[in-house]
Amino acid sequence: MIDSIRLFAFDLDGVIYLGDQVLPGATEMVESLQRMGKEVFFVTNSTLFHRRFYAQRLKKMGIKTEPERIITAAYATAWHLSQNGHKGRKVFLFGERGLREEFEGLGFQYLSEDQDEPSDIVVVGLDRDMTYQKLCKAASDIAAGAEFIGVNNDGVWPVEKGIRPGVGAFVAALETATNRRAFIVGKPNTKMLQIAMEKAGAQPEETLMIGDKPDSDIVMGKKLGAHTALVLTGLTKAEDVPLLPEEDRPEIVANDLGHLGRILGLQMG
């Protein structure tokens, strides 16, 4: 398989790192692929920061990459709306700095929660400073007819000491309040991996999606016809694998990226 794969797309949380802790084999595998001239991209449902932040974070962990090789759900959402003729429309962003910067980078203007003017589009990301006022603004605009976009629908966010509520918790609250369903851009939707494939010039059969969540990372890859690999360093454990439905089952299961590298026959280290 290693010779036929052009693009290696890695999830971040639970695959490359947990919190500030780099996971076993991550640095060695990425370095080996880069030495071989493979296209290495990072595809994450994260919304908190601009792609520059993740590139710098990886650099501190010994993994060299450029912001252009990181596809976040925040960037993919701004890209999706810009590609579908939404520039110039009023946007209310339920999220943090990373989401705002990605939208500003593509030329969007947005409203704040204290503005009475209704927005045309409500975009929901992770917001650790969530207030009732923000929820009211988002719910009011959605109920009035604004387009309802979820950056992703992850119910939880894995961290070093367990889990925290993810974007899906905010999406669910607004769906309950408005009786409207959000359109989800992030995994398991295919848009982020499609962007990476387009940038790398890779076809599905030349792509390997590597993640820790079967119902998002693996499903996204399989929807596009890409190869898939599941690592057991994040939310999925070995005992969960035999219970996975057919649509969530990866081609390869590995304990960590070091193990995956050995399965693929990489010369690591």
Poorest-confidence range of 21-30, 82-91, 137-146, 233-242?
82-91
pLDDT at residue 110 in the model: 83
pLDDT at residue 160 in the model: 65
Quick one: which of 49, 124, 114, 123 has its CA closest to 91? 123
Task: Using only the alpha carbons of the chain, give its radius of gyration.
Answer: 18
pLDDT at 170 over 80: yes
CA separation for the pair 189, 153 (Å, rounded): 10
CA separation for the pair 218, 225 (Å, rounded): 11
* Residue 163 in tokens: 């889990």
Ordered DSSP codes for 183-209:
EE-STTSSHHHHHHHHHHT--GGGEEE
**For the chain, what is the total number of helices (H) and then of strands (E)?**
9, 15
Look up the pTM and report it.
Answer: 0.89
Instruction: For 73-86, give the secondary structure using H, E and C.
Output: HHHHHHHHHHHCCC
Mean pLDDT calculated for residue range 90-119: 86
Domains of the chain: 7-45+187-264 (3.40.50.1000), 88-184 (3.40.50.1000)
pLDDT at residue 106 in the model: 78
Residue 40, SS3 per DSSP: strand
CA separation for the pair 161, 258 (Å, rounded): 23
